[in-house]
Amino acid sequence: MAVDTAADRVYTPLRLLTVFRFLTVRIDRLQEEGFMSRIILAALACALITPASVITQSSALDAAAKTLGTAGLRSLQFTATGQSFVLGQPPTATEPWPVRPVKSYQVFVDYGSNSMRLEQVLTMPTPQPRGGGAPFAGEQRQVQFVRGAFAWNEVPPAAGAQTPGVAAQPVAAAERLLWMWAVTPQGPIKAAAGNARVRDVANGTEVTFTVGGRYPVVALINKMNQIERVTALLPNDVLGDMPVVTTYSGYRNFGGIQFPARIVQTQGGHPTLDLTVSAVQTNGFVDITVPDQVRNPTAPAAVTATSQKVADGLFWIIGGSHHSLAADMGDHIVVIEGPQNEARSEAVLAEVKKVIPNKPIRFVVNTHVHFDHSGGLRTFVDEGATVVTHQANVAYYEKAWAAPRNLVGDRLAKSGKKAVFQSVTDRSELKGTNNRVIELHVLRGNPHNEQILVAWLPAEKVLFQSDMINPPAPNAPVPSPTPTITNFAENLTRLKIVPEQIVGGHGGRIATRADLNAVTGKAGTN
């Protein structure tokens, strides 16, 4: 069962039995003091073994269950439109996540099997909003599933096949299971029934339970017996125990059941979903069966890193989807980019120590605040490295890294070391005892992130960048220039940077000046 809150119960059976036996003895000793004394003490015994929190739990949850019609409710389906936002991809450190309009949002929840099917169609505004996120043109359809501990996506049919394929998504399982219980206000009522700790608060009743035996959830029942807000915690590499808050408003009758007209979710303090509900159906049927390839997946490959020599003492640390650059600075090492998570950064650290042995990693350069490029920074801090990043990011990281990390700890949480930052405003330099110079420059006005840095090694004519250019595959068509790539090229012209090698935080190979000219629409120029 996904919902498990036995550890949260205030009064255990053993404690209740102890109290009852004590009071029974007291009643027997007072037999000679009269009938009324025995009645009063017996009533006190009943009050103590039925604490106020248990009474509140029964009345508050029962009233909410009646208001929201959960009796006999096996499944629920609703349709909505709205907005979706890309977590961890802001245009600046202080702005919200970038938006994607939701043309259609359809959810089917089966409470009995802890399962959910979610189909959404996203659209890309024109012009594309500032900030990151995987780019697409026109519309993008996504079909996602969860059942208990298993999560998967529907993918387009393979060549020659007629039916869609599936792709396991084990990393998304916890978030989807939490959303399965929170996407409807009826979900928390069902999850909490008989398995919750309850307390009265000024604006209603708080019901606390866990999902998956691990993830804490607090639901607020307001004075109208409606679920008003649900707060859960999810582990995040940047934000630690990240609050995921869902609010429900505009309750009205949808086909015989009370349901909110608006559902808003925030993660990390900014909206991630804003839905306007148009239709609700109850007790429909859909088959959400875990595919065999999801239930019995092949073992995930270990996170590894390899290296490619770029110049003497300069190595491209590659592997997976995100890459770094390691520079020998004479008596120490500079690593540019600590991406994704601790596992990735530990693999990077191991490879760096292999190709540049016996030297401390003194600095890690963070190109920008996007979570896929900053999730592994804490591992470098624990290693003893100073974080070099834009000045605007320092306060953000200090606040984010101060959050608790009880759900999933990391090296820095265990060691308790304090992060040290070296900030960049517009330009900065890192100099080595071997006379190597790394210039750090801000790409002014870049729509991907306005505080993004590039690293330029003038002696080697090597430029490191993330999310600006990925060299196209040989003989592949070159897409039209985007505002991001155009701004990148304009900034290089402003800075008089003419690279011979463009090393990336992504991509399958090192780009050349010819690649840059191609993606900026200037093929054939020098």
Q: Which two tokens stand for residue 439?
A: 């210039």
Q: Which two tokens stand for residue 71?
A: 């009796």
Distance CA 143, CA 150 (A): 15
Element holding 24 (H helix, E strand): helix 13-29
**How high does pLDDT run on average in the chain?**
89
For residue 109, list its beta bridge partners.
76, 116
- pLDDT of amino acid 241: 97
Distance CA 180, CA 174 (A): 10
CATH of domain 306-519: 3.60.15.10
Element holding 40 (H helix, E strand): helix 35-49
CB-count exposure of residue 429 (10 Å: 0-12, 13-18, 19+):
exposed
DSSP 468: S
- pLDDT of amino acid 41: 35
> What is the maximum span of the chain, computed from C-alpha positions, in angstroms?
109
User: Is the per-residue pLDDT at 411 higher than 80?
Assistant: yes
User: Is the per-residue pLDDT at 21 higher than 70?
Assistant: no
Yes or no: is domain 68-295 CATH 2.60.40.2130?
A: no
- pLDDT of amino acid 471: 85
The single residue listed with the structure tokens 């042995």 is 357
- pLDDT of amino acid 476: 80
Distance CA 338, CA 346 (A): 10
- pLDDT of amino acid 158: 86
User: Is the per-residue pLDDT at 346 higher than 80?
Assistant: yes
Least confident piece of the model among 124-138, 177-191, 268-282: 124-138
- pLDDT of amino acid 33: 39
At 200, the pLDDT band (50, 70, 90 cuts) reads very high
| Average pLDDT score over residue span 168-197 | 94
Q: Where are the domains of the chain?
A: 68-295, 306-519
User: Is the per-residue pLDDT at 56 higher than 70?
Assistant: no
Least confident piece of the model among 50-54, 226-230, 289-293, 442-446: 50-54
Least confident piece of the model among 34-43, 392-401, 408-417, 482-491: 34-43
Least confident piece of the model among 16-20, 288-292, 345-349, 460-464: 16-20
Q: Sign (positive/negative) of CA torsion 473, 475, 480, 481? A: positive
- pLDDT of amino acid 23: 37
Q: Sign (positive/negative) of CA torsion 255, 259, 261, 263? A: negative
Distance CA 442, CA 491 (A): 9
Share above pLDDT 70 across residues of the chain, in percent, rounded to a whole number = 88
Distance CA 526, CA 515 (A): 11
Can you spell out the DSSP letters for 383-443?
Answer: HTPEEEEEHHHHHHHHHHHTS---SS--HHHHH-PPP-EEEESSEEEEE-TT--EEEEEE-
- pLDDT of amino acid 11: 34
User: Is the per-residue pLDDT at 115 higher than 90?
Assistant: yes
